[in-house]
Structure 1
């Protein structure tokens, strides 16, 4: 009887092992199916988490801006990024990423700070410190067109998507690049046309300490997009307050027929790292 009992016991173990293997194989099959569904679902879910605002600060670094004025611009932007009302506007807007570009001569490289996600005052202060530590490497003629194109490139090449894309450009003069020598360089109106096609808004701050009619020039040649505007200051001492008010105005969500305007790029999104 013992061998029979033993065989019976063995048959029971084999039966349970087979059942266990069947359950394990079923588990693997279900896991593979779940993984495939998760992989299929993830891009749509990620797309739904696009940032709300992508903002490029495009700042004049040409030779018409002397050393003291350049510092006033840097400190003015930093001061604005630390302002509680600016931070509150960003929070109201949702997820906001900011990048910075100092532009100058069309033949020189631009200075850039890559995308920073600004969610609170600590983020704003970190970005402000980065700007304050920047050493000036740009000068030369006023290559406004190439500066705007560089800002558009930063938006187009970003590895995340956003519901609104804005370029905040400031400067104290109109384009001064000689076209006969640089006929292939983009003009401000070329950059504006590209922005219109991409759904990017351009707002401007005219610093009219040297050139009369600069506000009208920016209005006719540069700004574009729903609600686009030009602000004007008469000197660099007024730059910080103007930048503060400008940021609040352009970041605050604007309803257009009850809908947010999407921008024209939608690459696989990834939120930029925090500073």
Structure 2
């Protein structure tokens, strides 16, 4: 079931169950090769393979893009994030970060990286911040999902969960239908979470829509425990990103959800972005 949470109402509680530690074979033991293979496998195990897919379309202003970058970097360095990381069964995650706009415009900012403590977290945060901010045309959430799915096969680590984290400030208006891309990802056991950015009044000129959070709930996210955290206050931007990452690392949802997403017909037309583009440009 998919869940929607408001900022300030989310509490990440509990920890994931830990795994057993394999004993070390004595020298010369006939089981040593098998145990070494198991140890090597364990060394590649992570709690979650997390893809951060970040919108850089022109509807995002430069201030929003800067806050977004800082929000991810600061969240990864935060003591809350590191505590959640430490409490997982493996105590580490793998993460990659890419920016997206049109269906053929995705740029990997951070290739797959292991985060297993403060040093690796700081290194990933610094890598995020050093890349120049860019903007690009169109908004293709379907393209971002389609780009993200094969990235899991390139990850040298294997996670207990595979999660795509989509943040953006508008509906899909380019590429294939977002629901088709979403469903293809869900069939592979991938979870998609959403961070709809709603800090500005919807504007026809920037192809915004009302109730972007409903659109993300009904058309974008999916998978066991998937959730949406809507940002409706610029001052809550970084807090929302940190909350989202904590939940994804811990693999938890709050004990008391604020709103349950209806598993019914979408409340917002999942092709609304394409319709707005067609109405405006005639193509």
Please, what TM-score do these two structures have when normalized by structure 1?
Answer: 0.71
Cα drift, residue 45 of structure 1: 4.5
Q: Secondary structure at the match of 2:65?
A: helix
Distance 1:148 1:247, change over 3 A: same
**Contact 2:109-2:131 within 8 A present in 1 as well:** no
1:203 aligns to 2:227 (yes or no):
no
Q: Which of 134, 150, 154 is residue 151 of structure 2 equivalent to?
A: 154
Unaligned runs of 5+ in 2: 1-27, 203-208, 254-283
Q: How does 1:183-262 map to 2 (within 5 A)?
A: 185-208=175-198, 209=200, 210=202, 211-254=209-252
Note the 1:1-275 alignment, pairs <5 A: 38=33, 43-49=37-43, 50-93=45-88, 94-177=91-174, 185-208=175-198, 209=200, 210=202, 211-254=209-252
Moved more, 102-111 or 54-63: 102-111
What secondary structure does 2:87 align onto?
Answer: helix
Q: Is the 8 A contact 1:215 1:232 kept in 2?
A: yes
Q: CA deviation at 1:236?
A: 4.0
Deviation >6 Å, runs of 4+: none
Q: Which runs of no fewer than 5 residues in structure 1 stay unpaired? A: 1-30, 178-184, 256-275
Q: Quickly say closer, same or farther: Cα 1:159–1:186, change in 2 above 3 A.
A: farther
Q: Rg: which structure is higher?
A: 1
Say if 1:203 and 1:126 are closer, same or farther in 2 by CA, change over 3 A: same
CA distance in 1: counterparts of 2:129 and 2:191, whole angstroms? 26
Using the size of structure 2 for normalisation, the TM-score is 0.69
Q: 1:236 to 1:148 in 2, by over 3 A?
A: farther
